[in-house]
Amino acid sequence: MRARRSARRERSQLLLGLILGMMLGAGLAAGILLARHTAVPRPPRQAPQAGTPRAPRHAPQAGTPRSPQQAPQAGTPRSPLHVPQTGVQQPPQAETSRLAPRIEKPAPAVGQTTPPEAHRPPAPAPIPAAVPPQHNPEASRLRAVVLPPETAGPPGKSRRHRVAIIFDDAGYGIKAAQEVEAIGRPVTISVLPHLPFSTQIAEEAPQHGIQVILHLPVQPDNPSIALGPGGITVDMADDEIRRTVNDDLGTVPSAVGANNHMGSLGTADPRVMRAVMDVMKTRHLFFVDSMTSSRSVAAKVAREMGVPTAVRAVFLDNEDSEEYVRGQFRALIAIAQSRGDAIAIGHVGKVTARVLVSMLPEFDEAGIQLVRISDLVH
């Protein structure tokens, strides 16, 4: 009886322990669930944008100390503290970083579309002013020294050694023309039409004793050479040629004559030259053949039509050096001494005017008189 009671008590105690164990287990499970529901949720980790290398979360690269700082966001330049050491592959840099230090700039705000500095359109370049040619494109098409046929002077007058010097290509600027005006001897300046300073030079030069003629652009053989404004071409009709020459003379109001600018093609065309000489004759002007081609008929047509004319003998400055120009002036003196008269052509803006001033004593010693070009046409 007693043994039976003892066994019953043991079973009761075992059942009670089992119940208590189950209650403790249930309470622990409920506590865990409650803790999960009441805990503050952590923000989700932002995924890196495309093109941004993802920094390793755990182990750093070999030989690279792990930085405690936060990984940079997409589009933000990396600080020099985060440049990987040797052995870690770097992204390619822009070519300009080899030339100058890279200037770090803050990342643009979201939605901002400011273009990178390298892709911004450049500022428009200023419109350049008219620039004179460095040399006469056709000056070397014919010899720098040619000997035109001798012509007798006016009857009853003794022959004198006379030289007329023309300075071509005026109109681009005032300073070059002022160098000619300062020579202090009778010379001639030939002004291109329709340039920024054409009219001003034509009006001021006579006040300094400088004779003015029109430097008439005439078509050259080489089609790649720019003729410039107011040019005469062989495909123009006669009326268009006459109208163009008159318009050109309107921008050089004090011109007493003309000579050709370039013109190796146009001066070889008798029809073109007749149309030009029509204007010269009507306005009582003369024409000087610059002789840029051995085929030129300009002087021949002028004589046939009764227009006073003459032919260039020396190009002075095919080379813009003092030594060369000085030699050309001495050749001019020799021609004048042997033939009585000679015409030379130089250009404004070169060393020619300065060399002439330094050689004026040589002209005087040789008995050479500088005259205006109108004194040598007939």
Mode of pairing for the β-strands spanning 257-262 and 369-371: unpaired
User: What are the φ/ψ torsions at residue 238 (nearest 5 degrees)?
Assistant: -60, -45
105 vs 160, residue with greater confidence:
160
User: In order of start, what are the domains of the chain with their CATH numbers?
Assistant: 167-375 (3.20.20.370)
pLDDT averaged over every residue in the chain: 80
pLDDT digits (tens, 9 = 90+) for 351-360: 999 999 999 9
Residue 343 is predicted with a pLDDT of 98
Residue 106 has pLDDT above 90, yes or no: no
Query: What tokens appear for 306 in the block?
Result: 């009764």
Over residues 103-125, mean pLDDT: 50
Predicted local confidence at residue 138, as pLDDT: 59
Question: Which residues have a Cβ under 8 Å from the Cβ of 246 and sit 6 or more positions away?
Answer: 279
Give the C-alpha separation, 324 to 294, whole Å. 23
3-state secondary structure of 341: strand
pTM (predicted TM-score):
0.64
Amino acid 147: pLDDT:
67
Measure the CA–CA gap between 351 and 363, rounded to whole angstroms.
Answer: 18
Distance separating alpha carbons of residues 320 and 135, to the nearest angstrom: 8
- Residue-wise pLDDT tens digits, 170-203: 999 999 999 999 999 999 999 999 999 999 999 9
CA atoms within 13 A on the CB side of 12: 6
pLDDT in tens, 317-341: 999 999 999 999 999 999 999 999 9
Percent of the chain past pLDDT 70, that is, above it, reads: 66
Minimum mean pLDDT among 71-85, 196-210, 293-307: which range? 71-85
Task: Examine the pLDDT at 277 and tell me if it is beyond 50.
Answer: yes
Q: Going by C-beta distance under 8 Å and a sequence separation of 6 or more, which residues neighbour residue 62?
A: 87
Q: What is the pLDDT of residue 82?
A: 45
Q: What is the pLDDT of residue 355?
A: 98
Highest mean pLDDT, choosing among 100-109, 110-119, 311-320: 311-320
d(CA 203, CA 40): 94
